[in-house]
Structure 1
Amino acid sequence: MTSPKDIVLNAWKTFSSGDVDRIAALFTDDAEWIAPKGNATAIALDHTDHMVGAKQIARFIAQEMHKMFFGIDIAFRGVYADGDTVIVEERMRATLAGGKAYENDYCFVFTVAGERIREVREYMDTRKGWRMVFGEEAR
């Protein structure tokens, strides 16, 4: 059996493939990805901040987020595991669709069920993200 930490690290490699079916296979059918309400990415893409289902999550990772972020560079700061929970700290850098630079720190809390991801809770500096995306203070 693969460890939850290895499952999550493999998922990050697979996310960059852009293959919706391979990405969807990483998640349980009823998986959830929960981001902060009203975050800049969700608002800019007119997208939900709470995705449910492997296919919806996979489409966002493989296709929808690339309408906003180009040249994505992920730098891991730490990966920590305890039982079925894996925490990933990272910094994401990219170029926004309008050409401006984007850089923000993230923390993801993954819950693994068997060999697949059941839940992801995403945390980021929402105020900083809002300013980079919209150039103004968050509402």
Structure 2
Amino acid sequence: MDKLSIRPANPDDLDEILAFWKEAAEGTSISDDRDGIERLVARDPECLILAERDGRLAGTVIAGFDGWRCHLYRLAVHPEQRRRGVATALLSAAEDRFVRLGGRRGDAMVLDANERAHHAWRAAGYERESRWSRWVKHLSQ
């Protein structure tokens, strides 16, 4: 198996990441645009973590920490790279980041209908939290 490398994204990666998410991620987010991820990386340069194999993007995860909670978003693995340790390596890097920052528990945004993702999150030791629901309000700008 070829070596997997893990690193934070930089501004030069953003267009590639957006194209990658269209192919590898389930669903879309209101922030899946250049402006959204530019702000993300500018605010927290280490939160968008990339996995690369042979110089090609293999996976991503956003590991955001607000000083209170550790949030995981956009865990996406290229279809050709699935079941090759990419998600495991990304989550390990995210969890290490959280521990360094003083985080105590990671939570993940996972689409209810994405059964494949449910299996991956369970295998990584995460459990569905049935006591909470996500409430959202879109903010106009």
What TM-score does the superposition give when structure 1 sets the normalisation length?
Answer: 0.31
Bigger fraction of residues in helix? 2
Higher relative contact order (CA 8 A, sep 6+): 1
Bigger fraction of residues in strand? 1
What TM-score does the superposition give when structure 2 sets the normalisation length?
Answer: 0.31
